[in-house]
Every structure is written in C-alpha cells, then in structure tokens.
Amino acid sequence: MAKILVVDDDPDFVNATRMVLEAEGHAIISAASGNEGFQRAREDKPDIIVLDVIMDTVLDGLSMSQEMHDDPAVRDIPIIMVTSIANTDYAELFPTDEYIHIRAFMSKPIKPADLIKQVNKLLPK
C-alpha cells in the first residue's frame, strides 16, 4: 500500500481519484493548491504525488514541482502531472522542456486503468 498525495482544486477529480486508488489499497491524502500540496508533501512524505497544473494560478502545479525539486527533503518523490491544459487557452504557457520536474504526464480525463498502471510503474520497489 502506498501513500498518495492528490493535489487538485477540483473536488470531483480528487474524489474520483481517491475511489480508484483506494480500491487498489492505497491511502490517499489531498490538497487543493500548490502551496498546500508542497506543505503536505513535506509533512506527510507521500510515496507518489498526483498533481494538477492549473489551480490557484495557471501554472500552480509547475511551481509546486519546481519547489519540490529545489527541496532535498521531497525532491525524490515521483510526480504524475495531470491536466486538461491542452484543451485551454493556456496551452502555449505550458513548458515542454527539462524544467518540468515530473516522472509522468497524463491528460484529463484519465482512464482509471491508466492511472493505476502509471502509479504502479512509479511506486518505489
């Protein structure tokens, strides 16, 4: 069983993700913003983070991933970035280079089986 932090300001997405991952035996904690997510990551040391891009700001999730990369205490926690940014007017703001400190990227809507597969792939062995 893994401890998974879901960081997203959409309560429906958080609840759906919680149901899918708890059914697989994982413990879920959540946060609704990048700032709150970063604090939860530092306090709770999750095994994996599922992180949205657009929350308090357009690139809130990217800011959180950068903060985590800069902090040795949480740098090695794998991040699965999830977003629907490709379907918005903000798509051009999303960087596509090495400055994104994530292990996987998934576009919303996410199929439950695909999320489970990605989580299992990134779980520490």
Query: How far is 6 from 30, CA to CA, in rounded Å?
Result: 5
Asked which of 3-7, 40-44, 90-94, 114-118 is least confident by mean pLDDT, the reply is 90-94
The H helix count followed by the E strand count for the chain is: 4, 5
Mean pLDDT for the chain overall: 89
**Percent of the chain having pLDDT more than 70?**
86
Task: Give the confidence band of 93 by pLDDT, cuts at 50, 70, 90.
Answer: low
Query: How far is 7 from 117, CA to CA, in rounded Å?
Result: 19
What's the chain's length in residues? 125
pLDDT digit string, tens, across residues 39-79: 999 999 999 999 998 888 777 888 899 999 999 999 999 99
Is 3-116 assigned to CATH 3.40.710.10?
no
